[in-house]
Amino acid sequence: MTKDLSVCLSPALINLFQVEDYIVVIIDIFRATSSICYGIENGAEAIVPVSLVEECAAFKNNGTNYLLAAERDGKVVEGFDFGNSPFSYTKDKVEGKTIVLTTTNGTHALHLSRKAKKVVIGSFLNLTSLCNWLKTQNQPVLLVCAGWKNNFNLEDTLFAGAVVDQLKGADFKLDDAAIAANDLFEIGKSDINQYLKKTSHGERLKKLGIEKDIEFCLQVDLTTAIPILEGNSLIKIN
């Protein structure tokens, strides 16, 4: 049966979709969902996405098994273990730990999608593994781009297009945004980093001095773990 494959280009457009009808994939390539994929791959027991820095801080007395990660405007919030750089989510740092995480865009998009059938996390790191799993689900899929403060951005859209590219043969009906995302991916795919250099976000991230993070986040199929929301936590799909 043909199922919808839709792309929500900004969290501000999510009310246009009945999220409860979809499996939602949250996309925040630079850097939240890339780091979540990497952290879960590296044995983090769970990642708890929270909306506010204060909620994150409230976990401070929960013991050494908790790591607190808070990012705002691309920087680690003062007083926190780390933000959303993937290099903070290596095995030696996160294995066996629970990470409480708040970010500018990614966790916001995630909270807006809570009512979905399932909420999973996507990034170039786990692209093919994610797409293979989505194909087995036989459900409508909504790809939610976290964007930058509700603004459209190219890196999240390009990743959405990469997912569309893998799913489009599998009896999905694409909406206009899915077609656009796929066509943009087609243009950019031979060198995504180069393509993104012309974007506003590229400029912004360059100013933050995180070019290495960017390169890391654009690696395709480095990981296979798919983080899924269970209750309030992101855990690895079995």
171 near a second copy (CB under 8 A): no
CA distance 172 to 223: 25
The stretch near a second copy (CB under 8 A) out of 33-41, 66-74, 132-140, 172-180 is 172-180
The secondary element (H helix, E strand) that includes residue 235 is strand 233-236
Please say whether the beta carbons of 102 and 56 come within 8 A.
yes
151 near a second copy (CB under 8 A): yes
175 near a second copy (CB under 8 A): yes
Please say whether the beta carbons of 35 and 67 come within 8 A.
no
Helix ranges, 73-170 (H)? 91-94, 106-112, 127-137, 154-167
CA distance 75 to 129: 30
Location of structure tokens 């995630």:
110
Residue 219, both tokens: 């690696």
CA distance 65 to 234: 16
CB of 30 to a second copy, least distance (A): 12
157 near a second copy (CB under 8 A): yes
48 near a second copy (CB under 8 A): no
- From candidates 5, 10, 71, 213, binder to a second copy by CB under 8 A: 10
Half-sphere exposure of 104 (CA within 13 A, CB side): 18
Site for a second copy in 76-105 (CB under 8 A): none
Binding-site size, a second copy (CB under 8 A): 25
For residue 58, give every residue at least 6 positions away whose Cβ sits within 8 Å of its Cβ, in sequence order, or none: none
- From candidates 177, 205, 226, 229, binder to a second copy by CB under 8 A: 177
Kindly write down the DSSP assignment for every residue of 83-98, as one continuous string.
-S-GGGS-HHHHTT-E
CB of 138 to a second copy, least distance (A): 22
138 near a second copy (CB under 8 A): no
Q: Which is nearer to a second copy, 80 or 195 (CB)?
A: 195
Question: Going residue by residue from 190 to 219, which x/- string records binding to a second copy, judged by CB under 8 A?
Answer: --------xxxx------------------
Closest by Cα among 65, 124, 66 to 100: 66
Q: Which is nearer to a second copy, 58 or 187 (CB)?
A: 187
The stretch near a second copy (CB under 8 A) out of 28-36, 54-62, 103-111, 174-182 is 174-182
- From candidates 12, 170, 208, 222, binder to a second copy by CB under 8 A: 12
**Which residues lie near a second copy (CB under 8 A)?**
9-10, 12-13, 16, 149-154, 157, 175-177, 179-180, 183-184, 186-187, 198-201
